[in-house]
Chains A and B, each alone.
Chain A
Amino acid sequence: MLNEKQIIRGCCEGDRATQCELYNSYSTTMLMVCMRYSKNRDDAEDILQEAFIKIFKSIKNFRGLSTLGYWIKKIVVNTALNHQRSKLYLFPMVELNDISYSSGNDQIIENCSLEELLKMIQALPIGCQVIFNLYAIEGYKHREIALILDISPGTSKSQFARARTLLQQMISQANNINYEKYQ
C-alpha cells in the first residue's frame, strides 16, 4: 500500500499501476459527487472520466497547499460545472438580499435513504441542483457561488431558495410514502 507522497510521485512519473491505485482510492467517493451534479449515471461517469484524465495530467502541479482529496474533489466539481455550463441558464429570478428560513418547517431527511436523497437532488432543475450542491453540500457562500458561476449573489440565493422549497416538498412526499409503507 503506497502512501500519498508515493502515489503522487508515481502519478507524476506516469506509472499506470500507481494511477490505478489513486483511481481506486478516490473513484467511489468522486462518482457520488458527480452523481449529485448530473441527472443520471452515464453523465456522472463521463464527468468522472474527464476529471480523472485532468487529475493525472495536472498532478505535477499539485503543491500540497491542500489535501490531495480536497484537490481531487475540486477538479471533479469544476469538471462537473464545466460539463453542465452549457445547459446552465440561471434566470435572475427574484433578487433576494437575505432569506430567513424557519427551521420548524424543515422536513427531516433522516428517514430517507441516500439513494432517495440523490434522486431528489437529481430531480431538481439544473440551476437549482448546481447551486444547492455548491451551497449546502460543498459549503460555498452565495458570494463565492456568484463569482464561480458569473451570476449575482441574489440569483444564487433565489435559486437556492427554490431548490430548498422543492426538496422540502419531495422529502415530505417521501416521508408520507415511507410512513404509509410502515403502517
Chain B
Amino acid sequence: MGKGNFEKAWRNAFEGAKLTPSDQLWAGIEAGIANDEVVRYKRGMAYYKWLAAAGILLFTGLLGYIGYQSLSTDSSLTENKSKRKNVKSVFQVTDSVLSTTKKEGAAEPFLIQQEITPSSIESLEATPSNNQKSQPRENPEGIKYLTVIERQQPKAIAMNEEQNLPPLPQRISGVPIYRSDQDTKRVVLWAGLNMTPGYFDPNFQSQGAVQGLQSPSFAQSTLQPEEEHRTGFSMSFGIEMGVKLSDRWQLSGGIQYLNNNVQSSTNAILDQRTPIFSSVIETLDLSDSRANITFVTTELDNTFQFLSIPVQAGYLVLDKKVKVLVNAGIASDIFLKNKITALDRSLESITINPGPNAPFRSVYFNGILGAEASYEFLPRYLITLEPRYKLAISEFTRSESSYSSFPSSFGIGLGVKYIFK
C-alpha cells in the first residue's frame, strides 16, 4: 500500500521543522561526554592493570627467588665463618702445643701455615697434653679432618689472643675446603627470541546466519546473509625471559606479537563495497530501507592482531644434551586490531580497533600447554623447538555481543636462548 496525501502532508509539514533547545542542554551533553571519557579512561587503565599485574607477578617471583638464593648463600657463608673460627681455634691450640713442644724440644717456631699440616697433626697426636685430646682421623683419601681438633676442650683455649692473630688467609694449605651443594648454586637466568608459525581458530559461534541482524531490509528476502569461518595461518614473534627455580623447575614469561589469520566468507555485500558480517553488523547502517544488499559469496581475509603476555611454569623431564621441558601457564592476550579485507580487493577493508564499540574484549585469557625440546649448540646458546597449544579460558567477544568466541591456536615455536651464568 502506498502512502497517501494525508501522510505526505504530515511529512511535508515537519520537513525541516526546527525548535531551539534550552541553553542548559549543551552543558548536559558536555557533562555526559566528559563522563564518558572518564569511563573510557578507566577502561583503558584496565589494560595497564593487567600488564602491571603480569609484570609484578613475574618480578615478584624473580625477586623472591633471588632473595631466597642470597639468603641461602648468606647462611652458607655464616657456616663457613664458623668453620674458620674453628680453624683459628686450631691455630691457637696448635700454637700452644707448639710452644710446649718448643720448650721441651727447643725447636724453632714454625709458621702457622706450615704447622697445620697432616704431619703436625700427627705430632699433636704424639704429644698429648692434659686439656687436648686430639684424635685426628683420616678420610679414605688420607686427609685429616681438622674438625677432630674441635672436639678438644675449647674452653681451655685463650680466645683473647684472637686479636693478635694474623689475618686468616683465604686458603690454608693442607686444609681441604668442603662446600655444600648450595654454595655452587647460582641464579640461572635466560633470555630468548622465538617465532611460532601455526594455525588459529577463532571458534566463532556465528557460522551460518549472520548474528545480530535486525534489519527490515531482509524481512521478505529469501536470501539471508550468511558467513563462514575457517582456521587460518598464524604467526607470532616474541621475546622471553626465564629463571631456573630448581634443578627441574623453571618460570618463564615474555611478550609476543601475534598475527592470526582466519579465512572467512560472507554472501552479502552492502552497497557493493562493505561485507555484511557478524563482527561489523552493529556498525552498518542496515535499517535504511534503501540499503542496497547484493548477494554474492566473497572470500575475506580476516586478520586479528594481539599482544600476548605469557607466564609459564616448566618442568624438566629430560636433562641431557637435549633437554625436554613440559610447560604450562596462562597468557593474557591484548586485542590490537581486526582487519577484514576481500581477497580479491574488490571491497573496502574494515578495521575494528579495541574500545567500547568493538565487539571484542580488550583482554582475554588463555591456557597454554607445550613441550619444549632444546639443544645446546654453543656454550650458553640453546636452540629450541616448542609445540604449543593455546585455548581461551575467557570469552574473546563481549558479553553483549550477539555471538561468542573462544579462540584456540596451535603452533610450533622455533627459538634461540642465551643462558646467563
**Partner-B contacts on A (CB < 8 A):** 14, 16, 19-20, 23, 27-29, 31-32, 35-36, 45, 48-50, 52-53, 56-58, 60-61, 63, 65-66, 70-71, 74, 98-101, 103, 106, 108-110, 114, 117, 135-137, 139-141, 143-148, 164
Contacts and interface: CB of A to CB of B under 8 A. Distances in A.
Contacts, number: 130
Interface in B261-283: 270-271, 274, 283
B178 interface: no
B19 A99 contact: no
B140 interface: no
Given A32-B14, A61-B283, A56 B33 contact: yes
Contacts of A70: 288
Contact of A137 (B11, B20, B21, B214): B11
B36 to A, nearest CB: 6
A32 B19 contact: yes
13 contacts: A28-B19, A29-B16, A52-B29, A53-B29, A56-B33, A60-B357, A63-B283, A66-B285, A101-B6, A103-B4, A136-B11, A139-B289, A147-B214
B285 A65 contact: yes
A20 B26 CA distance: 8
Interface stretch (B215-223, B247-255, B303-311, B368-376): B215-223
B22 A109 contact: no
A136 B20 contact: no
Is the interface on chain B under 10, 10 to 19, 20 to 34, or 35 or more residues? 35 or more
B17 interface: yes
Interface in B158-191: none
A114 B289 contact: no
Contacts of B357: 57-58, 60-61
B17 A32 contact: yes
A173 B33 CA distance: 45
A147 B219 CA distance: 8
B156 interface: no
B298 to A, nearest CB: 17
3 pairs of A and B residues whose beta carbons are closest in the complex: A144-B216, A28-B18, A53-B32
Given A65-B274, A114-B13, A98 B285 contact: no
Contacts of B96: none
Contact of A98 (B1, B16, B28): B1
A109 B36 contact: no
A23 B29 contact: yes
B107 interface: no
A14 B5 CA distance: 44
B216 A23 contact: no
A27 B271 contact: no
Contacts of B214: 147-148
A34 to B, nearest CB: 9
A58 B219 CA distance: 27
Contacts of A58: 357
A117 B184 CA distance: 94
Given A61-B283, A117-B13, A143-B216, A49 B28 contact: yes
Contact of A164 (B6, B19, B271, B283): B6
Given A16-B30, A35-B19, 9 more contacts: A14-B33, A32-B19, A36-B14, A49-B25, A49-B32, A103-B5, A103-B6, A143-B220, A147-B219
Given A36-B14, A136-B10, A143-B220, A74 B285 contact: yes
Candidate in B3, B6, B283 with the most chain A CB atoms within 10 angstroms? B6
A23 B1 contact: no
A100 B1 CA distance: 8
Contacts of B288: 66, 70, 74
Interface string B326-357: 00000000000000000000000000000011
B37 interface: yes
